[in-house]
Amino acid sequence: MTAWSKLLVATTRLIDLHDSAHEPGSPFVQVSQEQRRGLRDGYWLDLGCLLLDYLLDVDFATNSAFVSQTRCLAQLREHYPALPADDLAFVVNLLSTPSELHFRHGDSHQEASDASRGVRSTKRTALIEKQGQTGQVRLTPSGRQAVTLASQVEDLLYSEYDAAKVLAALARGDFARIPDITNQILMAIRSLTQELRRIRENPTREGKLSGFLDNERHYHNALSTIQNTLLGARSQLTTPEVTKRFERWCEDQEDDWDLRMLSGAIGRVLTAIENLSRRLSELLSDIAEGRIQSMGVIDFADLSRRLLGTPLQAALRDALVGRMMPFGLAAAMPRVEPLIPLIETRRAEKSATALVFDEHDDASPEDPLLARFLEARGPALRERLSEAPLSLPQALSEGWHRFEEGDCLAQLLNTYVDTQLLDERLTVGIEAEPFAITLDDGRRIEGMVTPSLRFSQDVAS
Protein backbone atom coordinates (compact mmCIF):
# COMPACT_ATOMS: atom_id res chain seq x y z
CA MET A 1 0.00 0.00 0.00
CA THR A 2 1.22 3.46 -0.89
CA ALA A 3 1.15 6.46 1.44
CA TRP A 4 -1.95 7.73 -0.36
CA SER A 5 -3.68 4.36 0.16
CA LYS A 6 -2.98 4.47 3.88
CA LEU A 7 -4.39 7.97 4.14
CA LEU A 8 -7.56 6.97 2.28
CA VAL A 9 -7.99 3.81 4.36
CA ALA A 10 -7.83 5.92 7.51
CA THR A 11 -10.44 8.46 6.34
CA THR A 12 -12.92 6.59 4.11
CA ARG A 13 -15.31 5.54 6.87
CA LEU A 14 -15.37 9.12 8.19
CA ILE A 15 -16.56 10.26 4.76
CA ASP A 16 -19.21 7.52 4.90
CA LEU A 17 -20.38 8.92 8.24
CA HIS A 18 -20.52 12.42 6.76
CA ASP A 19 -22.58 11.22 3.78
CA SER A 20 -24.90 9.01 5.81
CA ALA A 21 -28.62 9.81 5.61
CA HIS A 22 -29.35 7.80 8.77
CA GLU A 23 -32.07 9.42 10.88
CA PRO A 24 -30.97 10.43 14.43
CA GLY A 25 -32.63 8.22 17.02
CA SER A 26 -33.48 5.48 14.53
CA PRO A 27 -33.45 1.96 16.07
CA PHE A 28 -32.14 0.42 12.84
CA VAL A 29 -28.45 0.53 13.73
CA GLN A 30 -27.07 -2.28 11.57
CA VAL A 31 -24.58 -1.28 8.87
CA SER A 32 -23.68 -3.20 5.72
CA GLN A 33 -20.72 -2.88 3.40
CA GLU A 34 -20.88 0.18 1.16
CA GLN A 35 -21.58 -0.46 -2.51
CA ARG A 36 -19.27 2.08 -4.13
CA ARG A 37 -19.63 3.25 -7.69
CA GLY A 38 -16.82 3.40 -10.22
CA LEU A 39 -14.65 1.24 -12.43
CA ARG A 40 -13.15 -0.56 -9.39
CA ASP A 41 -9.68 -0.64 -10.96
CA GLY A 42 -8.08 2.36 -9.23
CA TYR A 43 -7.33 4.13 -12.51
CA TRP A 44 -8.76 7.57 -11.70
CA LEU A 45 -7.48 7.50 -8.14
CA ASP A 46 -3.96 6.70 -9.33
CA LEU A 47 -4.06 9.55 -11.87
CA GLY A 48 -5.19 11.98 -9.17
CA CYS A 49 -2.49 10.94 -6.70
CA LEU A 50 0.25 11.14 -9.35
CA LEU A 51 -0.96 14.60 -10.35
CA LEU A 52 -1.01 15.86 -6.75
CA ASP A 53 2.50 14.52 -6.09
CA TYR A 54 3.81 16.23 -9.23
CA LEU A 55 2.11 19.53 -8.38
CA LEU A 56 3.73 19.49 -4.92
CA ASP A 57 7.18 19.11 -6.51
CA VAL A 58 6.43 22.01 -8.86
CA ASP A 59 5.01 23.99 -5.95
CA PHE A 60 8.31 23.85 -4.09
CA ALA A 61 10.40 24.57 -7.19
CA THR A 62 8.35 27.55 -8.46
CA ASN A 63 7.09 29.00 -5.17
CA SER A 64 3.42 28.09 -5.80
CA ALA A 65 3.31 29.20 -9.45
CA PHE A 66 0.69 27.91 -11.87
CA VAL A 67 1.74 25.11 -14.27
CA SER A 68 0.17 24.23 -17.59
CA GLN A 69 -1.80 21.05 -18.05
CA THR A 70 0.52 20.20 -20.95
CA ARG A 71 3.43 19.80 -18.52
CA CYS A 72 1.23 17.73 -16.23
CA LEU A 73 0.22 15.51 -19.15
CA ALA A 74 3.86 14.97 -20.13
CA GLN A 75 4.70 14.01 -16.54
CA LEU A 76 1.81 11.56 -16.18
CA ARG A 77 2.59 9.94 -19.52
CA GLU A 78 5.79 8.62 -17.93
CA HIS A 79 3.47 6.32 -15.98
CA TYR A 80 0.66 5.99 -18.59
CA PRO A 81 2.22 6.40 -22.06
CA ALA A 82 -1.14 6.42 -23.89
CA LEU A 83 -2.88 8.76 -21.44
CA PRO A 84 -5.49 10.89 -23.30
CA ALA A 85 -5.61 14.61 -22.58
CA ASP A 86 -9.33 14.31 -21.82
CA ASP A 87 -8.61 11.94 -18.92
CA LEU A 88 -6.28 14.50 -17.36
CA ALA A 89 -8.84 17.26 -17.94
CA PHE A 90 -11.49 15.20 -16.15
CA VAL A 91 -9.23 14.64 -13.11
CA VAL A 92 -8.32 18.33 -12.98
CA ASN A 93 -11.96 19.41 -13.19
CA LEU A 94 -13.01 16.99 -10.45
CA LEU A 95 -10.19 17.93 -8.04
CA SER A 96 -10.71 21.65 -8.66
CA THR A 97 -14.48 21.52 -8.02
CA PRO A 98 -15.22 22.00 -4.32
CA SER A 99 -17.62 19.83 -2.33
CA GLU A 100 -19.39 21.17 0.73
CA LEU A 101 -18.43 19.58 4.05
CA HIS A 102 -20.68 19.98 7.11
CA PHE A 103 -19.40 19.75 10.67
CA ARG A 104 -20.26 20.92 14.16
CA HIS A 105 -18.32 23.30 16.31
CA GLY A 106 -19.38 24.71 19.64
CA ASP A 107 -20.27 23.77 23.20
CA SER A 108 -20.29 19.98 23.45
CA HIS A 109 -22.50 20.16 26.59
CA GLN A 110 -25.53 21.44 24.69
CA GLU A 111 -28.45 19.17 23.97
CA ALA A 112 -27.65 16.64 21.26
CA SER A 113 -31.18 16.99 19.91
CA ASP A 114 -30.56 20.64 19.00
CA ALA A 115 -30.13 20.36 15.23
CA SER A 116 -28.66 23.86 14.99
CA ARG A 117 -25.95 23.27 17.61
CA GLY A 118 -22.78 24.78 16.19
CA VAL A 119 -23.45 23.61 12.63
CA ARG A 120 -20.81 24.87 10.21
CA SER A 121 -19.86 24.09 6.64
CA THR A 122 -16.95 24.72 4.31
CA LYS A 123 -16.34 24.45 0.61
CA ARG A 124 -12.57 24.70 0.87
CA THR A 125 -12.25 21.08 -0.21
CA ALA A 126 -10.88 21.57 -3.73
CA LEU A 127 -7.36 20.14 -3.95
CA ILE A 128 -6.41 21.97 -7.17
CA GLU A 129 -6.86 25.59 -8.23
CA LYS A 130 -7.47 26.10 -11.96
CA GLN A 131 -7.31 29.36 -13.87
CA GLY A 132 -10.48 30.03 -15.81
CA GLN A 133 -8.88 31.40 -19.01
CA THR A 134 -5.63 29.45 -19.41
CA GLY A 135 -6.54 26.24 -17.58
CA GLN A 136 -3.22 26.26 -15.69
CA VAL A 137 -3.27 24.54 -12.30
CA ARG A 138 -1.61 24.56 -8.89
CA LEU A 139 -2.26 23.14 -5.44
CA THR A 140 -4.71 24.79 -3.08
CA PRO A 141 -3.84 24.98 0.64
CA SER A 142 -6.08 21.94 1.18
CA GLY A 143 -4.29 20.04 -1.59
CA ARG A 144 -0.88 20.92 -0.20
CA GLN A 145 -1.97 19.72 3.22
CA ALA A 146 -3.35 16.47 1.78
CA VAL A 147 -0.08 15.63 -0.01
CA THR A 148 1.92 16.48 3.10
CA LEU A 149 -0.28 14.30 5.31
CA ALA A 150 -0.09 11.38 2.89
CA SER A 151 3.72 11.50 2.96
CA GLN A 152 3.82 11.37 6.77
CA VAL A 153 1.53 8.42 7.50
CA GLU A 154 3.01 5.92 9.99
CA ASP A 155 6.67 6.08 9.07
CA LEU A 156 9.01 5.53 11.99
CA LEU A 157 12.10 6.23 9.88
CA TYR A 158 11.23 9.93 9.89
CA SER A 159 9.98 10.20 13.46
CA GLU A 160 13.47 11.25 14.56
CA TYR A 161 12.61 14.69 13.21
CA ASP A 162 9.50 14.70 15.39
CA ALA A 163 11.70 13.98 18.41
CA ALA A 164 13.71 17.10 17.60
CA LYS A 165 10.46 19.08 17.81
CA VAL A 166 10.39 18.31 21.55
CA LEU A 167 13.67 20.19 21.98
CA ALA A 168 12.33 23.07 19.89
CA ALA A 169 9.17 23.22 22.03
CA LEU A 170 11.28 23.35 25.20
CA ALA A 171 13.44 26.13 23.75
CA ARG A 172 10.38 28.23 22.81
CA GLY A 173 8.48 27.48 26.00
CA ASP A 174 5.63 25.82 24.09
CA PHE A 175 5.15 23.12 26.72
CA ALA A 176 1.58 22.26 25.69
CA ARG A 177 2.82 20.87 22.37
CA ILE A 178 5.10 18.26 23.94
CA PRO A 179 2.40 15.62 24.74
CA ASP A 180 1.01 15.88 21.20
CA ILE A 181 4.46 15.43 19.66
CA THR A 182 5.29 12.43 21.83
CA ASN A 183 1.92 10.84 21.00
CA GLN A 184 2.74 11.07 17.28
CA ILE A 185 6.05 9.30 17.87
CA LEU A 186 4.32 6.73 20.08
CA MET A 187 1.78 5.93 17.37
CA ALA A 188 4.54 5.30 14.82
CA ILE A 189 6.42 3.05 17.27
CA ARG A 190 3.31 1.07 18.15
CA SER A 191 2.46 0.68 14.47
CA LEU A 192 5.85 -0.89 13.76
CA THR A 193 5.57 -3.04 16.91
CA GLN A 194 2.26 -4.46 15.70
CA GLU A 195 3.72 -5.00 12.23
CA LEU A 196 6.57 -7.03 13.75
CA ARG A 197 4.04 -9.19 15.56
CA ARG A 198 2.17 -9.84 12.30
CA ILE A 199 5.46 -10.67 10.56
CA ARG A 200 6.28 -13.26 13.20
CA GLU A 201 2.82 -14.82 12.83
CA ASN A 202 2.94 -14.85 9.04
CA PRO A 203 6.31 -13.71 7.62
CA THR A 204 5.29 -14.15 3.98
CA ARG A 205 2.47 -11.62 4.23
CA GLU A 206 2.86 -9.16 1.35
CA GLY A 207 6.62 -9.55 1.39
CA LYS A 208 6.85 -7.62 4.66
CA LEU A 209 9.71 -9.72 5.99
CA SER A 210 12.10 -8.98 3.13
CA GLY A 211 11.17 -5.29 3.23
CA PHE A 212 11.85 -5.16 6.94
CA LEU A 213 15.21 -6.86 6.61
CA ASP A 214 16.26 -4.28 4.02
CA ASN A 215 15.45 -1.40 6.39
CA GLU A 216 16.45 -3.08 9.65
CA ARG A 217 19.64 -1.01 10.03
CA HIS A 218 17.74 2.22 9.37
CA TYR A 219 15.14 1.33 12.01
CA HIS A 220 17.87 0.80 14.60
CA ASN A 221 19.49 4.10 13.71
CA ALA A 222 16.18 5.95 13.89
CA LEU A 223 15.33 4.40 17.27
CA SER A 224 18.76 5.28 18.62
CA THR A 225 18.43 8.89 17.45
CA ILE A 226 14.92 9.24 18.91
CA GLN A 227 16.03 7.73 22.21
CA ASN A 228 19.08 10.01 22.57
CA THR A 229 17.03 13.10 21.64
CA LEU A 230 14.29 12.34 24.16
CA LEU A 231 16.78 11.50 26.90
CA GLY A 232 18.33 14.90 26.34
CA ALA A 233 14.90 16.54 26.45
CA ARG A 234 14.00 14.79 29.70
CA SER A 235 17.28 15.88 31.29
CA GLN A 236 16.51 19.50 30.33
CA LEU A 237 13.25 19.30 32.28
CA THR A 238 15.25 18.99 35.51
CA THR A 239 17.36 22.11 34.92
CA PRO A 240 16.49 25.21 37.05
CA GLU A 241 16.14 27.45 33.98
CA VAL A 242 13.48 25.24 32.31
CA THR A 243 11.73 24.67 35.63
CA LYS A 244 11.34 28.43 36.20
CA ARG A 245 10.07 29.05 32.68
CA PHE A 246 7.58 26.18 33.09
CA GLU A 247 6.26 27.62 36.37
CA ARG A 248 5.76 31.06 34.77
CA TRP A 249 4.01 29.40 31.83
CA CYS A 250 1.68 27.43 34.14
CA GLU A 251 0.47 30.66 35.76
CA ASP A 252 -1.05 31.76 32.44
CA GLN A 253 -2.81 28.43 31.74
CA GLU A 254 -6.40 27.59 32.65
CA ASP A 255 -5.67 23.88 33.14
CA ASP A 256 -3.49 22.43 35.87
CA TRP A 257 -0.10 21.36 34.52
CA ASP A 258 2.72 19.52 36.25
CA LEU A 259 6.28 18.98 35.08
CA ARG A 260 5.79 15.27 35.70
CA MET A 261 3.17 15.20 32.94
CA LEU A 262 5.81 16.14 30.37
CA SER A 263 8.37 13.76 31.86
CA GLY A 264 5.78 10.96 31.83
CA ALA A 265 4.91 11.61 28.17
CA ILE A 266 8.57 11.33 27.21
CA GLY A 267 9.00 8.27 29.44
CA ARG A 268 6.20 6.41 27.66
CA VAL A 269 7.99 6.85 24.35
CA LEU A 270 11.27 5.62 25.84
CA THR A 271 9.49 2.54 27.23
CA ALA A 272 7.93 1.85 23.83
CA ILE A 273 11.38 2.15 22.20
CA GLU A 274 12.79 -0.46 24.59
CA ASN A 275 9.89 -2.79 23.83
CA LEU A 276 10.32 -2.33 20.08
CA SER A 277 14.09 -2.89 20.29
CA ARG A 278 13.49 -6.15 22.15
CA ARG A 279 11.04 -7.33 19.49
CA LEU A 280 13.53 -6.42 16.77
CA SER A 281 16.21 -8.49 18.47
CA GLU A 282 13.84 -11.44 18.96
CA LEU A 283 12.78 -11.39 15.31
CA LEU A 284 16.35 -11.24 14.05
CA SER A 285 17.31 -14.09 16.40
CA ASP A 286 14.40 -16.21 15.13
CA ILE A 287 15.38 -15.53 11.53
CA ALA A 288 19.02 -16.42 12.17
CA GLU A 289 18.13 -19.69 13.91
CA GLY A 290 15.40 -20.67 11.42
CA ARG A 291 12.61 -20.65 13.99
CA ILE A 292 10.27 -18.31 12.14
CA GLN A 293 7.66 -20.00 9.96
CA SER A 294 4.53 -18.96 8.15
CA MET A 295 1.23 -20.08 9.61
CA GLY A 296 -0.46 -19.67 6.25
CA VAL A 297 -4.15 -18.87 5.71
CA ILE A 298 -6.84 -21.23 7.05
CA ASP A 299 -10.32 -21.19 5.54
CA PHE A 300 -12.31 -22.08 8.64
CA ALA A 301 -15.60 -22.09 6.73
CA ASP A 302 -14.27 -24.74 4.37
CA LEU A 303 -12.83 -26.66 7.32
CA SER A 304 -16.26 -26.68 9.00
CA ARG A 305 -17.92 -28.00 5.85
CA ARG A 306 -15.36 -30.78 5.53
CA LEU A 307 -15.87 -31.72 9.17
CA LEU A 308 -19.61 -32.12 8.47
CA GLY A 309 -18.88 -34.51 5.62
CA THR A 310 -16.02 -36.40 7.28
CA PRO A 311 -16.28 -36.44 11.10
CA LEU A 312 -13.16 -36.44 13.24
CA GLN A 313 -11.67 -39.61 14.64
CA ALA A 314 -13.20 -40.64 17.93
CA ALA A 315 -10.09 -39.92 20.02
CA LEU A 316 -9.60 -36.45 18.52
CA ARG A 317 -13.32 -35.67 18.77
CA ASP A 318 -13.45 -36.61 22.46
CA ALA A 319 -10.36 -34.51 23.17
CA LEU A 320 -11.86 -31.47 21.44
CA VAL A 321 -15.23 -31.87 23.15
CA GLY A 322 -13.57 -32.23 26.52
CA ARG A 323 -11.57 -29.01 26.08
CA MET A 324 -14.04 -26.83 24.19
CA MET A 325 -17.60 -27.81 25.15
CA PRO A 326 -19.33 -26.14 28.14
CA PHE A 327 -19.73 -28.10 31.37
CA GLY A 328 -23.11 -29.57 32.24
CA LEU A 329 -24.60 -29.31 28.76
CA ALA A 330 -28.35 -29.90 29.16
CA ALA A 331 -29.77 -28.90 25.75
CA ALA A 332 -28.78 -29.66 22.16
CA MET A 333 -29.01 -26.63 19.85
CA PRO A 334 -28.75 -26.58 16.04
CA ARG A 335 -25.62 -25.13 14.48
CA VAL A 336 -26.32 -21.96 12.49
CA GLU A 337 -22.92 -21.81 10.76
CA PRO A 338 -24.00 -23.88 7.71
CA LEU A 339 -26.90 -21.44 7.16
CA ILE A 340 -24.88 -18.21 7.37
CA PRO A 341 -23.47 -18.35 3.79
CA LEU A 342 -26.99 -18.90 2.44
CA ILE A 343 -28.42 -15.98 4.38
CA GLU A 344 -25.64 -13.52 3.52
CA THR A 345 -25.51 -14.49 -0.18
CA ARG A 346 -29.23 -14.37 -0.85
CA ARG A 347 -29.86 -11.26 1.25
CA ALA A 348 -27.07 -9.32 -0.47
CA GLU A 349 -28.91 -9.52 -3.79
CA LYS A 350 -32.10 -8.06 -2.34
CA SER A 351 -30.99 -5.38 0.10
CA ALA A 352 -27.94 -3.46 1.25
CA THR A 353 -28.83 -4.20 4.89
CA ALA A 354 -27.55 -7.45 6.36
CA LEU A 355 -29.90 -9.75 8.25
CA VAL A 356 -29.55 -9.50 12.04
CA PHE A 357 -31.20 -11.89 14.48
CA ASP A 358 -31.51 -10.27 17.89
CA GLU A 359 -33.50 -12.09 20.55
CA HIS A 360 -32.61 -9.64 23.34
CA ASP A 361 -35.55 -9.40 25.74
CA ASP A 362 -37.66 -11.34 23.21
CA ALA A 363 -38.06 -8.18 21.17
CA SER A 364 -40.72 -8.20 18.48
CA PRO A 365 -39.41 -8.43 14.91
CA GLU A 366 -38.19 -5.08 13.58
CA ASP A 367 -38.89 -6.15 10.00
CA PRO A 368 -42.58 -5.38 9.21
CA LEU A 369 -42.48 -7.74 6.22
CA LEU A 370 -41.32 -10.58 8.52
CA ALA A 371 -44.19 -9.81 10.91
CA ARG A 372 -46.76 -9.88 8.10
CA PHE A 373 -45.24 -13.07 6.69
CA LEU A 374 -45.46 -14.87 10.04
CA GLU A 375 -48.99 -13.65 10.71
CA ALA A 376 -50.32 -14.69 7.31
CA ARG A 377 -48.37 -17.86 6.54
CA GLY A 378 -47.50 -19.01 10.07
CA PRO A 379 -50.64 -21.11 10.80
CA ALA A 380 -50.47 -22.92 7.46
CA LEU A 381 -46.75 -23.51 7.86
CA ARG A 382 -47.22 -24.97 11.36
CA GLU A 383 -49.97 -27.23 10.04
CA ARG A 384 -47.64 -28.41 7.26
CA LEU A 385 -44.89 -29.13 9.79
CA SER A 386 -47.28 -31.12 11.96
CA GLU A 387 -47.71 -33.55 9.06
CA ALA A 388 -44.00 -34.11 8.27
CA PRO A 389 -40.61 -32.38 8.58
CA LEU A 390 -39.96 -29.69 5.99
CA SER A 391 -36.49 -29.33 4.49
CA LEU A 392 -35.38 -26.09 2.90
CA PRO A 393 -35.43 -27.50 -0.69
CA GLN A 394 -38.97 -28.80 -0.11
CA ALA A 395 -40.10 -25.42 1.29
CA LEU A 396 -38.78 -23.65 -1.80
CA SER A 397 -40.32 -26.16 -4.18
CA GLU A 398 -43.70 -25.81 -2.41
CA GLY A 399 -43.50 -22.01 -2.72
CA TRP A 400 -43.46 -21.06 0.96
CA HIS A 401 -41.17 -18.12 0.10
CA ARG A 402 -43.86 -16.45 -2.04
CA PHE A 403 -45.99 -13.89 -0.23
CA GLU A 404 -48.02 -10.82 -1.26
CA GLU A 405 -47.04 -11.35 -4.90
CA GLY A 406 -43.43 -10.82 -3.87
CA ASP A 407 -40.40 -12.66 -2.61
CA CYS A 408 -39.92 -13.52 1.09
CA LEU A 409 -36.89 -15.79 0.76
CA ALA A 410 -35.03 -13.95 3.53
CA GLN A 411 -38.04 -14.21 5.86
CA LEU A 412 -38.37 -17.94 5.18
CA LEU A 413 -34.68 -18.46 5.92
CA ASN A 414 -35.19 -16.50 9.13
CA THR A 415 -37.59 -19.21 10.39
CA TYR A 416 -34.85 -21.84 9.89
CA VAL A 417 -32.43 -19.80 11.98
CA ASP A 418 -34.80 -18.65 14.73
CA THR A 419 -37.40 -21.44 15.05
CA GLN A 420 -39.23 -19.70 17.93
CA LEU A 421 -40.69 -17.27 15.40
CA LEU A 422 -43.10 -20.07 14.37
CA ASP A 423 -43.34 -22.31 17.42
CA GLU A 424 -41.22 -22.92 20.52
CA ARG A 425 -41.46 -26.68 19.92
CA LEU A 426 -39.73 -26.46 16.55
CA THR A 427 -36.12 -27.44 16.00
CA VAL A 428 -33.73 -27.63 13.05
CA GLY A 429 -32.04 -30.78 11.87
CA ILE A 430 -28.99 -30.79 9.59
CA GLU A 431 -28.71 -33.55 7.01
CA ALA A 432 -25.35 -34.16 5.28
CA GLU A 433 -26.97 -33.84 1.87
CA PRO A 434 -25.98 -31.04 -0.52
CA PHE A 435 -28.70 -29.39 -2.58
CA ALA A 436 -29.01 -27.00 -5.52
CA ILE A 437 -32.27 -25.27 -6.52
CA THR A 438 -33.01 -22.84 -9.36
CA LEU A 439 -35.95 -20.57 -8.58
CA ASP A 440 -38.46 -19.36 -11.14
CA ASP A 441 -36.74 -15.97 -11.44
CA GLY A 442 -33.41 -17.61 -12.31
CA ARG A 443 -31.75 -17.35 -8.90
CA ARG A 444 -29.77 -20.42 -7.87
CA ILE A 445 -29.44 -21.54 -4.26
CA GLU A 446 -26.83 -24.11 -3.28
CA GLY A 447 -25.98 -25.65 0.06
CA MET A 448 -23.39 -28.10 1.33
CA VAL A 449 -25.90 -29.42 3.90
CA THR A 450 -29.72 -29.53 4.06
CA PRO A 451 -31.50 -27.88 7.01
CA SER A 452 -34.89 -29.31 7.95
CA LEU A 453 -37.62 -27.83 10.21
CA ARG A 454 -39.47 -30.27 12.41
CA PHE A 455 -41.29 -30.50 15.74
CA SER A 456 -39.30 -31.78 18.70
CA GLN A 457 -41.46 -34.90 19.00
CA ASP A 458 -40.42 -35.82 15.45
CA VAL A 459 -36.81 -35.85 16.58
CA ALA A 460 -37.66 -37.96 19.63
CA SER A 461 -39.42 -40.52 17.47
pLDDT above 90 coverage of the chain, percent: 11
Amino acid (one-letter) located at 271: T
More confident residue, 145 or 266: 266
The mean pLDDT value for 75-98 works out to: 93
Mean pLDDT of the chain: 78
DSSP string, 242-277: HHHHHHHHHHT-SS---HHHHHHHHHHHHHHHHHHH
User: So what's the pLDDT on residue 66?
Assistant: 92
pLDDT digits (tens, 9 = 90+) for 104-131: 876 544 444 455 567 888 888 899 999 9
Q: What confidence category does residue 327 fall into, taking pLDDT thresholds of 50, 70 and 90?
A: low
pLDDT digits (tens, 9 = 90+) for 248-260: 888 888 888 888 8
pLDDT at 339 over 80: no
Q: What confidence category does residue 194 fall into, taking pLDDT thresholds of 50, 70 and 90?
A: confident
The mean pLDDT value for 96-107 works out to: 80
Show Cβ contacts of residue 49 under 8 Å, excluding neighbours closer than 6 positions: 2, 4, 150
Q: Of 47-61, 76-90, 149-163, give the lowest mean pLDDT range.
A: 149-163
pLDDT at 93 over 70: yes
pLDDT digits (tens, 9 = 90+) for 207-233: 556 666 667 777 778 888 888 899 999
Distance CA 39, CA 313 (A): 49
Long-range contacts (CB closer than 8 Å, 24 or more residues apart) made by 166-172: 166/229, 166/230, 166/233, 166/266, 167/229, 167/232, 167/233, 167/236, 170/233, 170/236, 170/237, 170/242
pLDDT digits (tens, 9 = 90+) for 142-153: 888 888 777 655
Q: How far is CA 85 from CA 15, 90, 138, 358, in A?
A: 30, 9, 17, 54
Domain 3-12+39-103+118-150 grouped into CATH 1.25.40: no
pLDDT at 65 over 60: yes
The mean pLDDT value for 283-302 works out to: 61
More confident residue, 301 or 205: 301
User: So what's the pLDDT on residue 398?
Assistant: 84
What's the CA angle centered on 5, arms 89 and 44, to 5 degrees? 20
User: So what's the pLDDT on residue 348?
Assistant: 47
Q: How many CB atoms lie within 10 A of CB 451?
A: 24
pLDDT at 368 over 80: no
Strand 402-403 and strand 406-407: pairing?
antiparallel
Residue pair 419/425 in contact by the 8 Å Cβ criterion: no
Domain boundaries, the chain: 3-12+39-103+118-150, 156-289, 335-460
